[in-house]
Structure 1
Amino acid sequence: MDMRWLEDFLALVEMRNFTRAAEFRNVSQAAFSRRIQSLEHWVGSALIVKGAVPVRLTEAGEQFREDAAASVERLLGARSKIRCNQFELMSQVRIATPNCLARSDFKRVLQMLRGRVKSSFSVIVGNTQDVTARYMAGDADILLCHDNLALPSPVHSDAQERLVVRRDRFMPYAVLNEDKRAAFGFPGNARHPFPLISYSHKAYFMRLFEHVLERAPALPAYKITVQCDMSDVLKEIIMEGHGVGWLPASAVDASAAQVIGPIGGPEWALDVEICAYRPRRDLAPEIEALWDALRQEVGSDR
Structure 2
Amino acid sequence: MDVRWLEDFLALVELRNFTRAAEFRHVSQAAFSRRIQSLEQWLGTPLVVKGAVPVRLTDAGEQFVDSARIAVDRLFEARASIRTSQFEVMSQVRIAMPNVLARSEFKALLNVIERKHNSSFSVIVGTTLDVVARYLAGDADILFAHDCPAIPMHDTLDQHERLVLRKDRFQPYATVDPVKRNKLDFPGTPRNPFPMISYSHRAYFARLFEHVVARNKTPLPHKVVVQCEMSDVLKEVISAGYGIGWLPQSAVGDADPHLMSPIGPPEWGLDLDICAFRPPRPLGTSIEGIWRALEAGEEKQASL
**TM-score normalised over the length of structure 1:** 0.69
Q: Which has the larger radius of gyration?
A: 1
CA shift for structure 1 position 106: 1.5
Cα offsets for 1:243-289 (capped at 9, x unmatched): 10000000013332111000000010000000000011110111001
CA contact (8 A) 2:170 2:246 kept: yes
SS of equivalent to 1:188:
coil
CA distance in 1, matches of 2:168, 2:153: 18
- Determine the structure 1 residue equivalent to 2:5: none
- Determine the structure 1 residue equivalent to 2:175: 175
Name the % identity: 56
- Determine the structure 2 residue equivalent to 1:106: 106
CA contact (8 A) 2:176 2:239 kept: no
- Determine the structure 1 residue equivalent to 2:239: 239
Unaligned runs of 5+ in 2: 1-86
CA shift for structure 1 position 108: 1.3
CA contact (8 A) 2:173 2:247 kept: yes
SS of equivalent to 1:257:
coil
CA distance in 2, matches of 1:88, 1:160: 21
CA distance in 2, matches of 1:166, 1:152: 17
Which deviates more from structure 2 when the two are superposed, residues 108-117 or residues 243-252? 108-117
CA shift for structure 1 position 133: 0.5
Cα offsets for 1:75-102 (capped at 9, x unmatched): xxxxxxxxxxxx9986110000000100
CA distance in 1, matches of 2:170, 2:297: 24
CA contact (8 A) 1:96 1:143 kept: yes
CA contact (8 A) 2:88 2:284 kept: no
Cα offsets for 1:11-70 (capped at 9, x unmatched): xxxxxxxxxxxxxxxxxxxxxxxxxxxxxxxxxxxxxxxxxxxxxxxxxxxxxxxxxxxx
SS of equivalent to 2:189:
coil
SS of equivalent to 2:117:
coil
User: What does 1:1-302 correspond to in 2, within 5 Å?
Assistant: 91-154=91-154, 157-302=157-302
Which deviates more from structure 2 when the two are superposed, residues 148-157 or residues 282-291? 148-157
CA distance in 1, matches of 2:100, 2:234: 11
Cα offsets for 1:160-207 (capped at 9, x unmatched): 000001000000000112222221100000000000000011011100
CA contact (8 A) 1:217 1:267 kept: no
CA contact (8 A) 1:161 1:277 kept: yes
The 1:117–1:90 alpha-carbon spacing in structure 2 relative to 1, beyond 3 Å, is: farther
CA shift for structure 1 position 157: 4.7
The 1:151–1:114 alpha-carbon spacing in structure 2 relative to 1, beyond 3 Å, is: same
SS of equivalent to 2:174:
strand
CA shift for structure 1 position 114: 3.3
Q: Any runs of at least 4 consecutive aligned residues in structure 1 with deviations exceeding 3 A, and if so which?
A: 87-90, 155-158
CA contact (8 A) 1:90 1:118 kept: no
CA distance in 2, matches of 1:261, 1:134: 34
The 1:155–1:264 alpha-carbon spacing in structure 2 relative to 1, beyond 3 Å, is: same
**TM-score normalised over the length of structure 2:** 0.68
The 1:116–1:90 alpha-carbon spacing in structure 2 relative to 1, beyond 3 Å, is: farther
CA shift for structure 1 position 232: 0.6
* Number of residues of Structure 1 aligned to a counterpart in Structure 2: 216
Cα offsets for 1:200-227 (capped at 9, x unmatched): 1101110011011011131210010000
CA distance in 2, matches of 1:276, 1:150: 17
SS of equivalent to 1:103:
helix
CA contact (8 A) 2:153 2:204 kept: no
SS of equivalent to 1:162:
strand
Unaligned runs of 5+ in 1: 1-86
